[in-house]
Structure 1
Amino acid sequence: MPDSNTTDFTNPSTFILLGIPGLEGKHVWLSIPFCTMYIITLLGNITILLIVKREPSLHEPMYYFLCMLAVTDLIMSTSIQPKMLSIFWFNSREIRFSACLTQMYFVHCFSVIESGIFVAMAFDRYVAICDPLRHSTILTNPVVTKIGLAVVLRGSVLLIPHLFLARQWPYCRTNIIPHSYCEHIAVVKLACADIPISNYYGLSVAFFITGLDVFFIALSYTQLCVVLAFYIPGLFSFLTHRFGQNVALYFHILMANIYLLLPPMLNPIIYGVRTKQIRDKLLSPPGSLNFPLVL
């Protein structure tokens, strides 16, 4: 395994993920809560998707957005969890350069998409409360589809420069990433070139997306617990990578993982189980839904 910090290469064929530096001896124990979170994420979000798909009464904008959120959570969690668990369980630290860039793109792209879905859900709640008689005429299926496409396109397009910039930098110092997944700044920090473009663009996107989305959400939401669980650890992770030299590395990596793994586990509980219609369907006899319940 090419662990040398002095090897001379450009765009290496593989990177080495360390997992959680400083807590290597506890990787097996750490895998228990992370694996549990992943299982709950899978079961919770798949259950939401099955219930909404099978029940015509739930074919409404609110539940369409909830399904978008469930799909986003499944993709975002699956983009990092299997590899992370393979590091914890089998010490499988290698990841191909192209796979690392793909993982980096998926993680950040779907984080932005999830933020956009929160805004869409907030807008749906705002219309339902402030103009309930026109809710069905304002948020028609074509409008919901357009909102969904806009959210996906925003995340996809804004993160493409990250991918191309990370791809073009020469990596001639080391291929060791002190992280459990290919986080953008953790990767580009390994470049043996001046990378202010990546730094400035990353900061601009983060503050633009977070600031704009939180502003719109704050206008229409009052229940912000899961939203805060998504944004606060994310901002902490983003800023400490750049300015938090005094923060212990293992604590930073743990927060970065919690930022990506906790909301996908909480979303189906907060937005799904606490929703009366979905809770009623979930607790109804299995035969009434015509499919075996996942939970």
Structure 2
Amino acid sequence: MRKPLVAALFALAIAGAGAAPAVAAPVSAAPAAAEKADAKAASPKLQAVTLAGTVALSNCSGSVVRFPNSLDTAPALVLTNGHCLETGFPGPGEVIVNRASTRTFGLLNSAGTRVATLRASKIAYGTMTDTDAALYQLTTTYAAIRNSYGINALTVQDTHPTAGTAITVASGYWKRLYNCNIDGFVYRMKEGDWTWKDSVRYTSACNTIGGTSGSPVVDQATGKVVAVNNTGNEDGESCTVNNPCEVDASGNVTVRQGINYAQQTYQFPACFTTGNQLNLSASGCVLPKP
């Protein structure tokens, strides 16, 4: 998983000149060469993804999200990683639901300017089992956020994404956009004590760093969230913390140093009511349960 920021900076300091500096790229800065290549190859129909609706956490990134049937009057939700929770990493098999929280989030506009501080009322759902995701419920609604700041929530797609899709990983922490494609899907991904199912593997242009954990992965053609950024193999080790490995259905292990990953989010809409209340017993809800 992408380390909290302090650990990431420490690791870079130890690595020395051989490591890329973990510095924020201005929103207006020119993309890296690989990102330029992706942009040139992109279809003209693809839309530019901005930072509007993303949020900065104390150590991670996130985004204000809604589901296709969410009401404007429903309390808004923030999507991030389970390993970004202020309570620490959930253990294997642990699922957190409806736990009180007063965590704050810096809301960004399209230019990456912080326009508001949003506050949670609870952790609606959080886990690192099968997936690495968390959803905070806020003290304000989608309508109130839009009326006050002119920012709409990002919609979570309710269907499985496809390989080859052009995507943007939008980091509210760094105020930076990473553009690449979905390279494929991983049957099982193991990292330390955790195992995740059907993970998204990026092409190499999405060279995410510490602090990008929890960033929404946005389909450039639809503007919808298809996954949440969570990890990458940093050192070429196999199945250790910060060095996830891929495991296929036959048990074969593959290590891809420098490649980064996300967890799909299409499972979430079926588990929430139109008022954004969690219902793990709902028809079609397959999220892990406590």
User: Same fold by TM-score, threshold 0.5 exceeded?
Assistant: no
Q: Which has the higher helix share?
A: 1
Which structure is richer in relative contact order (CA contacts within 8 A, separation 6 or more)? 1
What TM bracket, shorter-length normalisation?
under 0.3
Scaled by the length of structure 1, what TM-score is found? 0.26
